[in-house]
Amino acid sequence: MYQNTSIDVVIPSFRLDEDVLLNIFNVERPDGFLVNFYIVADNPSLVIPDGILKLADDNKINLIKNEVNLGFSKTRNNGIRLGRGKWILLLDDDIMPSKKLLIAYAEAIQNNPDSIGFAGVTNFPLPFNAATRAMDINGTTGHFKAALDNKPLVWVPTANVMLNREKMDVTLFNEKLSKGGEDIEFLLRNSLSYKEKYIPVPDAVVEHPWWNNGAVQTERIFRYGRGASDIAALNTIKPYTYHDFLNTSECILLLLVFSPLVVALYSVNELFLLMFLVLFAEVLTNLIKVFYKSKSLSLPVALNLFWIKNCYEAGYLFESLSKGRLWGFAERIEMGFVKENPSWFRLNKWKIIKTILLLVMFILTRL
């Protein structure tokens, strides 16, 4: 029998940053709730900090150290299975919680004791350079703050989310997913299974730093794209996939595949010209998008936006083709998960602008 007023705070940690973990431990406790902390260290090579060891020795936290690196999915699952509380608060190990974090969740529990779970808010600092401005414009951090809209959600990043142990698929996070997307798949699976959505709690706030102090996130974004391709093939996500107009990576790949034909019919110069036009149209579109979103014209931000957008799309394409999943070509996921079998070939203003720019530039080269 689960304890209805017990919260298990589960933190998978590779960094074991003592200051961060102690800040999480020191948040205010809500009256009438038993709060248990489970820190699962997933970096066998690191020495456990003294402050964390002392909390464990004093039985104030439950500390587990993996003998080998298991990754986020399995580490979270192990942490979840250690507890017995009805409510499970999943937090990342690099966030700074508000002092009232648990109190906000406790109030939500009292108002909705049978909810499938609650979505908190994960704020990022204001953008301060071209890379962070590009991530902000691209919407890379948008899902982290989705609870601010105060609308029920079918998934939220695991940086700050509370789940109901009584309404979880017993298989928990898919441990085969190692590149990302495991949070989307698991939370959506629960939401569909119990026909409920996660209740937003705008006052349950944590602060998340920019990754690597605001550096360009090439590897991370490429990995996110690969992870998205992996979950697209799963039964939970597959009904929400569709096929769309080709993106830049797919266009370049097609030109490379058919390069012998293009060269035979035209020339090598024509092949390189087509590739350049595709890339340049994308850059110009992003430059216009930056101006539209920020009311300032910045080529560095546009180039960073171009880079992370295409890293994600290239990662999706790479993962699909490397696993022989040809259906993944031109495939997209409808991340709102509003209805199954979404319509194909969707237009928006950015696709229209890019197409027009590409056609105009191509025509000008013919004159």
**Whole-number Å distance between alpha carbons of 201 and 221:** 28
Residue 260 CB burial class (10 angstroms; 0-12, 13-18, ≥19): exposed
**What pLDDT was estimated at residue 133?**
97
Half-sphere exposure of 138 (CA within 13 A, CB side): 25
Question: How sure is the predictor about 5, in pLDDT bands with cuts at 50, 70 and 90?
Answer: confident
**Whole-number Å distance between alpha carbons of 176 and 74:** 9
Question: How sure is the predictor about 46, in pLDDT bands with cuts at 50, 70 and 90?
Answer: confident
pLDDT tens digits for 277-312?
999 999 999 999 999 999 999 999 999 999 999 999
Token pair of 252 as six digits: 């370049």
Average pLDDT over residues 335-351: 94
**What pLDDT was estimated at residue 3?**
63
Average pLDDT over residues 23-35: 95
Token pair of 147 as six digits: 């609870």
Residue ranges of the domains in the chain?
3-214, 231-366
Give the Å distances, CA to CA, from 88 to 24, 111, 118, 131, 361. Answer: 15, 17, 10, 34, 55
**Whether the predicted model's global pTM rises above the 0.85 cut:** yes
3-state secondary structure the chain: CCEEEEEEEEEEECCCCHHHHHHHHCCCCCCCCEEEEEEEECCCCCCCCHHHHHHHHCCCCEEEECCCCCHHHHHHHHHHHHCCEEEEEEECCCCEECCCHHHHHHHHHHHCCCCCEEEEEEECCCCCCHHHHHHHHHCCCHHHHHHHHCCCECCCCCCEEEEEHHHCCCCCCCCCCCCCCHHHHHHHHHHHHHCCCEEEEEEEEEECCCHHHHCCCHHHHHHHHHHHHHHHCCCCCHHHEEECCCCHHHHHHHHHHCHHHHHHHCCHHHHHHHHHHHHHHHHHHHHHHHHHHHCCCCHHHHHHHHHHHHHHHHHHHHHHHHCCCHHHCCEEECCCCCCCCCCCCCCCHHHHHHHHHHHHHHHHHHC
Average pLDDT over residues 16-44: 94
Average pLDDT over residues 97-102: 97
Question: How sure is the predictor about 2, in pLDDT bands with cuts at 50, 70 and 90?
Answer: low
Question: How sure is the predictor about 4, in pLDDT bands with cuts at 50, 70 and 90?
Answer: confident
Half-sphere exposure of 290 (CA within 13 A, CB side): 24
**What pLDDT was estimated at residue 366?**
84
**What pLDDT was estimated at residue 183?**
95
**What pLDDT was estimated at residue 1?**
44
Q: Does the structure show a pLDDT above 90 at 314?
A: yes
**What pLDDT was estimated at residue 189?**
96
**What pLDDT was estimated at residue 367?**
78
By DSSP bridging, strand 241-243 and strand 331-333 are antiparallel
- Hey, CA dihedral for 201, 154, 314, 366, is it positive or negative? negative
Residues 61 and 32: beta-carbon distance below 8 Å: no
Residues 6+ apart with CB under 8 A from 117: 161, 162, 163, 164, 167, 187, 190, 198, 199
**Whole-number Å distance between alpha carbons of 280 and 303:** 11
**Whole-number Å distance between alpha carbons of 175 and 274:** 42
pLDDT tens digits for 245-274?
999 999 999 999 999 999 998 899 999 999
Q: Does the structure show a pLDDT above 50 at 31?
A: yes
CATH architecture type of domain 3-214: Alpha-Beta Complex (3.90)
**What pLDDT was estimated at residue 118?**
98
Token pair of 25 as six digits: 């431990």
Residues 119 and 156: beta-carbon distance below 8 Å: yes
